[in-house]
Chains A and B, each alone.
Chain A
Amino acid sequence: AQSVAQPEDQVNVAEGNPLTVKCTYSVSGNPYLFWYVQYPNRGLQFLLKYITGDNLVKGSYGFEAEFNKSQTSFHLKKPSALVSDSALYFCAVRDRWDTDKLIFGTGTRLQVFP
């Protein structure tokens, strides 16, 4: 069965430092991978996706993610964190040969300190 794991409940980083939010997946076939962000009292917002092609995907707000097939990972990164990046981040996956569902991870809370 397809699944996605976010091993860290919370990531703390100082403003200006690089940040990484980890995601690993398990699917049969090639995955479609997504990152979403949720700010307090808001719905999820799309950040970026990997479908095919370049393993480094650039998205909104300066975020990027690297698809690593051998490690089955899709980590979210940003070179320089902002306090306003503090939010809940979700990784999601869809198996191309499965239904139209997205499977979401449990979420990682990113806290950026001034």
Chain B
Amino acid sequence: QSALTQPPSASGSPGQSVTISCTGTSSDFGGYNYVSWYQQHPGRAPKLMLFEVSKRPSGVPDRFSGSKSGNTASLTVSGLQAEDEADYYCCSYAGSNRFVFGVGTKVTVL
């Protein structure tokens, strides 16, 4: 099972928006809407930011939004803040009770 494709890096100035893509094959995303996004700061455990493509867990700011079209999912962070600087990983259900993560994208706040 190959990792999902993400750009290695993305950046934006405070207040701007940044969008990260996550691309897989039809067998990765299939017809499922079980795509989630995680934020990971250095030395810390990942934190769930979005699940089922665009749903936010309690406590996650609405600056974080998600979408999916075909075999590509996207995470958009609007109104960038310094604390948004982190690694972001997508994750998709890949069938047969298995999941696959993306390779990760480092977001830098300029």
Chains A and B bind each other: no
- B residues whose Cβ falls under 8 Å from a Cβ of A: none
